[in-house]
């Protein structure tokens, strides 16, 4: 299966391949016309696990190439990716969240379109400064919507 890097996303144009990728793990967002738009983080994971090949300007990109692309476009991309990969390997469905939190995590067997997310995750580097006031705001926000906040310190 192959995709094409376009900016900060990877697009899988073939309808059959797009459907297979989306149906086996709720990756990406289906597009009109049958394609699939993947977040860069999803694409790195799929390339790393051997389920996707990504092409840019005629050459195939490795997972490392995609990680470097993510690092250039988003501070802390590597830390967020490590958390994303760990959650995915444990069988959870993981989707990007609105800032300042990083991910919405759905229970095993759940689906973003059918099941509400159970947790919100903030990926934090052990080397970065930590704002306790912001953490309290996140806790209030998550409790208001009946979610649990997970802090993933890498």
Backbone phi, psi, residue 151, to 5°: -100, 120
pLDDT band (50, 70, 90) for residue 86 = very high
Distance CA 116, CA 107 (A): 9
Per-residue pLDDT at 131 exceeds 90? no
What pTM did the predictor assign?
A: 0.91
Most confident of 64-68, 109-113, 133-137: 64-68
Distance CA 34, CA 42 (A): 18
Domains of the chain, first to last: 2-72 (3.40.1170.20), 75-153 (3.40.1350.10)
Distance CA 149, CA 140 (A): 10
Q: Which contacts (CB < 8 Å, 24+ apart) does range 127-132 have?
A: 128/76
Distance CA 42, CA 125 (A): 20
Q: pLDDT, tens digit, for every residue of 45-69?
A: 999 999 999 999 999 999 999 999 9
- Containing H/E element for 123? strand 119-124
CB 12, CB 3: distance < 8 Å: yes
Span 115-144, average pLDDT:
89
Of how many residues is the chain composed?
A: 154
Mean pLDDT for the chain overall? 92
Return all residues near 110 (Cβ < 8 A) that are at least 6 apart. 93, 118
Span 131-147, average pLDDT:
87
Q: Classify each residue of 93-107 as buried b or exposed e, where b means 16 or more C-beta atoms within 10 Å of its C-beta.
A: bbbeeeeebbbbbbe
């Amino acid at each position: 299966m192959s995709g094409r890097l376009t900016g900060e996303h990877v697009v899988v144009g073939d309808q059959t391949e797009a459907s297979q990728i989306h149906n086996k793990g709720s990756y990406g967002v289906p597009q009109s016309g049958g394609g699939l738009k993947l977040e860069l983080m999803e694409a790195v994971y799929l390339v790393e696990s051997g389920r996707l090949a990504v092409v840019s300007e005629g050459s195939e990109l490795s997972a490392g190439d995609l990680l470097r692309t993510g690092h250039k476009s988003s501070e802390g991309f590597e830390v967020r990716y490590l958390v994303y990969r760990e959650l995915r390997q444990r069988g959870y469905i993981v989707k990007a969240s609105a800032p300042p939190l990083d991910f919405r995590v759905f229970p095993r067997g759940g689906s973003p379109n059918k099941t509400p997310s159970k947790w919100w995750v903030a990926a934090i580097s052990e080397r970065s400064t930590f704002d306790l006031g912001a953490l309290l705001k996140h806790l209030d926000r998550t409790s208001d919507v009946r979610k649990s906040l997970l802090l993933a310190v890498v």
